[in-house]
Amino acid sequence: MTARTFPPGFLWGAATAAYQIEGAADEDGRAPSIWDTYSHTPGRTLNGDTGDVAADHYHRWAEDLGHLTELGLGGYRFSISWPRVFPGGKRNTAGVDFYSRLVDGLLERGIRPVATLYHWDLPQELEDAGGWPVRDTALRFQDYAADIVGALGDRVDTWTTFNEPWCSAYLGYGSGVHAPGRTEPAAALAAVHHLNLAHGLAGRVVRELAPRARLSVTLNLHVIRPASDSAADADAVRRIDALANRAFLGPLLDGAYPADLLADTAPVSDWSFVRDGDERTAAVPLDVLGVNYYSTTLVRTWDGVSPRSDADGHGRSAHSPWIGAGDVDFLPQPGPHTAMGWNIDPSGMTELLLRLRDEYPHLPLMITENGAAFADEVAPDGAVHDDRRVDYLRRHVDAVGAAIDQGADVRGYFVWSLLDNFEWAWGYDRRFGIIRVDYDTQVRTWKDSAHWYRELVAGNALPD
């Protein structure tokens, strides 16, 4: 059997996020973010964990770039901490200098910098002024983007405006399981729009100030399947697809919100926060679409009799993130599952990429996150034999290759994550890294998955 190979120039990388790895929460002029506030609020995170120290990447960045080099990676996807570089709407030189050193260090090692402007760490002062549900936050994001893109410019290969705006809007303002922890359905929909608007505003900044750089956005698009072939369950898929996927694909790529989304959510919001021209602004042309994929979603329309099920994989809350879809059930799915409780189904990766191939045939794609959390154990010899993660990665990388074989224009793959890190509301209990972090000593140890990934990258083909 011939090994799965990938096109010449396929970009292999690893991904991280600022609040999850940097630490140094109150150093060098960094101001608080919503995740500082949220994680320091009792009961919000598992074991009361915070990102105050995390993986101490702020002080160990050179060591971590060394791991990227040893892995042979061509790209590194990281995020920039808005409250570190632009607190109070003014440049913090010490914060900008940190990212400047990081970018230069990547370039010196022949690694492409892929910078995300927003990975969930809104400055707390902007949340105090209303957060993403208010329009001014989008304008402040434009200011921040202009400053940091002006500082780093074309040294960055790819500028990604947002990571998973679905989570920022619906989990932050709908279900409250992410920062800032609000449970206001109408505010969640307003946040959807202002995140989309902010993407367009910042994207135009990138076009102007870094014309040689590529422009991207990363979406956690859901693969939604019906529990049966009934018309009612097909409609449940349609409704969740509108909230999960087309609420972002519509304005960002098609220049308009889908009509059924507006109709479904009309009892909650009249969407009057959308002003003339906003959707055209949001639809700034992209060079690549980032795709994050972990698992699939199974739904049905509630029959009014059966016990309700909310197994959507996004955290337990008395408040649903699915605005206007209160009668849609999210059903548990058969295993195997990761430590997050997410089902493992690589076919969903192929299905999603082929959908994007069909709907947006001229838009290149990049897998910007894919990986798995497992309860890793350290062997007596100090090694971490994470066979389940190796199997997960092998099967999902193969699924990407299957989509490429069927015409999907996928340009690269970034494993989530380079390092074990602060996993948001799950604190330090869930480990996604291919490199283990001992949080007591900050010692990094390659897991078997890191050795496997290095072999994959070196051969541009799945290892035997």
Catalytic residues: 164, 369
- Cis check for the bond before 417: say yes or no (omega within 30 of 0): yes
Nearest Cα to Cα of residue 301 among 222, 238, 221: 238
Residue 89 and residue 78 in contact, taking contact as beta carbons nearer than 8 Å: no
Distance CA 276, CA 453 (A): 48
Residue 183 and residue 317 in contact, taking contact as beta carbons nearer than 8 Å: yes
- Kindly give, in sequence order, each residue whose CB lies less than 8 Å from that of residue 456, ignoring residues fewer than 6 positions away: 12, 397, 462, 463
Residue 408 and residue 357 in contact, taking contact as beta carbons nearer than 8 Å: yes
First-last CA distance in the chain: 10
The DSSP output letter for 447 is B
Sign of CA dihedral 37, 39, 44, 47: negative
- Kindly give, in sequence order, each residue whose CB lies less than 8 Å from that of residue 273, ignoring residues fewer than 6 positions away: 135, 190, 193, 194
- Cis check for the bond before 180: say yes or no (omega within 30 of 0): yes
Distance CA 25, CA 36 (A): 8
- Kindly give, in sequence order, each residue whose CB lies less than 8 Å from that of residue 451, ignoring residues fewer than 6 positions away: none
- Cis check for the bond before 336: say yes or no (omega within 30 of 0): yes
Sign of CA dihedral 247, 248, 250, 256: positive
Distance CA 311, CA 295 (A): 12
Amino acid sitting at position 219? L
Can you tell me which residue has the tokens 């798995």?
372
Give strand pairing partners of 60.
Answer: none
Residue 219: burial class (beta carbons within 10 Å; 0-12, 13-18, 19+): buried
Distance CA 38, CA 55 (A): 19
Nearest Cα to Cα of residue 356 among 166, 222, 160: 222
Question: Coil, helix or strand for 153?
Answer: helix
Alpha-carbon distances, residue 15 vs 3, 66, 169, 257 (angstroms): 25, 15, 22, 30
Distance CA 22, CA 60 (A): 9
